[in-house]
Chain A
Amino acid sequence: MSRSKITSASIEDSTIAAADIASGAVESAIATPLSHRNLIINGAMQVAQRGTSVTGSTANTYQTCDRWYHIASGATYNSSQESLTIGQTDIPRQFQYFLRFDETTGNNNSGIEQRVENILSIAGETVTLSFYAKGTNPGGGSMQIEFDEYWDGSAQTQNTESFTLTSSWQRFTFTRTLTDPTGKTIGSNSFLGIKFRQPTVDTNTNAWTLDITGVQLEVGSVATPFEHRSYGEELARCQRYFYGINQYTNSRGGTGWAFIATAVAYDTSHMTASLNLPVTLRTTPTISYSNLSGQFGFGRSGAVDYFDTLSGGNSDNNQNVNIYASNGLSHSIGDAGYFGIYFGSAYIHLDAEL
């Protein structure tokens, strides 16, 4: 039959019975790749600007794989970006990495969370969460998913589901209908938080491990195949929330100076350098940096001043930040040169996370 002959008016009610549809025909249509379905950023755990592993952490903060907030809640955990074996067939071969969240001492409410910006964009919608996971369960025998709706700074609606990990990869799917936005007040940090954690009622301190990848949240009641995004696309999305400036390996395979920006001696005691950010950040970022003696440098007039600490400036915004330093400098007013990172393990982090 010609497709041009098929219209809603030309097909009478009950003309097509379920038995008339070839097995897989509808699934094939559903599986047609459509871009921008996945609201989760870095669901395939490709990007790890902060580093690929931490051990013995008790911090509630972002660690390892970008966009994944780690919740200790009294637990102690290791976290790492792990590689899947090339050629594995346990999950689709498009995946190269997974996040391993490994609690050595468990506690209730501990786990990982992704905060999806701007809850208004999906408010009132039916959404489906899907992911691949394996591992071992907390002492109570199961894991918990929590959907937290943050409208104006606190979680106002919380829904939970449970799932059970095994030693084999499984794809889990959960469908929820989010709260209607009518009458809600929206704050500067509204988001939908999706937590994968030890259940609230499970206060057991047993160790457990969650291996997870292919996390997808999409509008609708069907879990479609995971939406592939290139590393470059995913990195740019991650950089809206976090931009890590790290020491680079130079072209000779070793480490050397990482020249970050041109810099000038603003007055007798201050160097200033402006960093243009690769993408527009969500908000004006917090600046943090490593803690190493002489880790930064201001190269000018044939010499280098080494220094340890720096600050943001009052011209900072979400497109560029003005860094200045005042300790360890011996320049003359008007000197111009470069601002750089000296040590291999030194870093500057710009954080605009939710």
Chain B
Amino acid sequence: MNEMTITNARYVNSPLLNEVDSIKATIDGEQMSIPLCEGNRHYDEIMRQVDAGTLTIAEAE
């Protein structure tokens, strides 16, 4: 698999339930809202990079 370039990753609180329900990030230059869902390729790659210590996800604002 080729690695995605991921920057500005941040958890997002749902306005409906006031709990974290997605991650906002810029992936390969595009703004994305990524669900917390294993099997979603962007979420899987974010978690892989977090586990590898190359990416940190900021807390929700």
Q: In angstroms, how far is the closest chain A Cβ from the Cβ of B29?
A: 7
Q: In angstroms, how far is the closest chain A Cβ from the Cβ of B43?
A: 8
Binding site for B on A (CB under 8 A): 59-61, 71-73, 153-155, 188-189, 266-267, 269-270, 272, 282-289, 291, 309-316, 322, 324, 326, 351-354
Q: In angstroms, how far is the closest chain B Cβ from the Cβ of A295?
A: 12
List 16 additional contacts besides A288-B30, A313-B22; criterion CB under 8 Å.
Answer: A59-B29, A60-B3, A61-B4, A72-B2, A153-B44, A266-B16, A270-B16, A283-B37, A285-B35, A288-B27, A288-B32, A288-B33, A311-B12, A311-B33, A312-B34, A354-B41
Interface check B17, CB cutoff 8 A = yes
What are 7 A-B contacts with C-beta separation under 8 Å? A154-B1, A266-B15, A272-B16, A311-B24, A326-B15, A351-B41, A352-B40
Residues of A within 8 A of B12 (CB): 311
> Contacts A60-B28, A314-B21 hold; do A284 and B37 have CB atoms under 8 A apart?
yes
Residues of B within 8 A of A310 (CB): 33
With A and B bound together, what is the CA distance between A324 and B43 in angstroms?
A: 20
Q: In angstroms, how far is the closest chain A Cβ from the Cβ of B53?
A: 18
With A and B bound together, what is the CA distance between A322 and B15 in angstroms?
A: 12
With A and B bound together, what is the CA distance between A326 and B15 in angstroms?
A: 9
> Contacts A286-B42, A314-B19 hold; do A291 and B3 have CB atoms under 8 A apart?
no
